[in-house]
Structure formats: structure tokens, C-alpha cells
Amino acid sequence: MQEMNNSATESKLFELAASARGKAYVPYSGFPVGAAIETVSGNYYAGCNVENVSYPIGTCAEAGAIAAMVACGELKIKKILIIAGGKELIAPCGACLQRIKEFSTDETEILLATPRGIEKKFSLAQMLPFGFNNSELKHD
Ligand code: THU
């Protein structure tokens, strides 16, 4: 299979995230968000926010995309793109940055988009320089 170049993979991430955003279940906030992941092995997963009448148990788009990735046996995020409405660019919430960190590498990138396209790119380290990472909690 021919490898996709950087801009082709980013267009694919954008399309997948925008499509997932179109399916977001947001009857309470009215604020649809989509997320799409490219893994280190070159596969793609998408998610959207899913709200609930019990407000605190609603889930973010990033959490949905990560769950889809893990369910397919993948654990390493190369890029994650998050898309919300156009008025203001949104960043992942603190909890989602920690979720991304769990499945990150030193090169993991976060792409922030609006319906106009990709507007900003950051490394995870830029957005979460001191996330929780207690190696004592890990065991083989
Ligand atoms: N939301 C996300 O899906 N991802 C984020 O990074 C920020 C917020 C969702 C949660 C809720 O359904 C809606 O946006 C408004 O907060």
C-alpha cells in the first residue's frame, strides 16, 4: 500500500473527525465535538461526545476515539485531531489531555480544528508538560 503523506493523513483525520462530530449526541450542551486518531501503526479511529441526562457522565469526543482505538488492540497515538464549532478554537479538557497521555509517545501531536480546517498543532508535551505519570503504579 502506498504511504500517505503528511497532508493526506491530516485531511483524513479532519474528514473522520468532522464526520463523527456530525453524529455527536449533544441534546444538553448543543456543542458537538469530533475527534480522530491516527495510530503509530497507521490506523484511524474516531469518536464524538455523548451526553447524558445525568450530566456528569457524558463523555468527551477524545474519550470515544480512544475507546475505539483500544477496542481494536491499538495503544499508541501518533496524532489526534479535535474539531468543534467555528467561533472559538477549543483545546482538549484537562481530563482528556491525561487520557491522551496514557497512550502517547514522545512525538504525539494534537491538532485543533474548526469546520474551516486545521488551525493549530501542538505536541502533547506543550499542552500537558506535567501530567500525572507515576512509574511506581506500573507493573509488568
Ligand atoms: N467536550 C469534548 O467532547 N471534548 C473536549 O475536549 C471539550 C468538551 C464536550 C463535552 C460536552 O459534551 C460538550 O463538549 C460541552 O462541554
Report pTM.
0.94
Q: Which of 38, 51, 62, 109 is catalytic?
A: 62
Question: What confidence tens digit (pLDDT) does each residue in 5-43 have?
Answer: 789 999 999 999 999 999 999 999 999 999 999 999 999
Q: Give the per-residue pLDDT at 15.
A: 98
Rg of the chain over Cα atoms, rounded to whole angstroms, equals 15
Residues in the chain, total: 140
Where do the DSSP E strands lie in the chain? 34-39, 44-48, 77-83, 109-114, 117-123
Atom of ligand 1 nearest to the CA of 24: 12
Q: What is the DSSP string of 88-118?
A: S-----HHHHHHHHHT--TT-EEEEEETTEE
38 lines ligand 1 (CB under 6 A): no
Q: Is 15 among the residues known to form the active site?
A: no
26 lines ligand 1 (CB under 6 A): yes
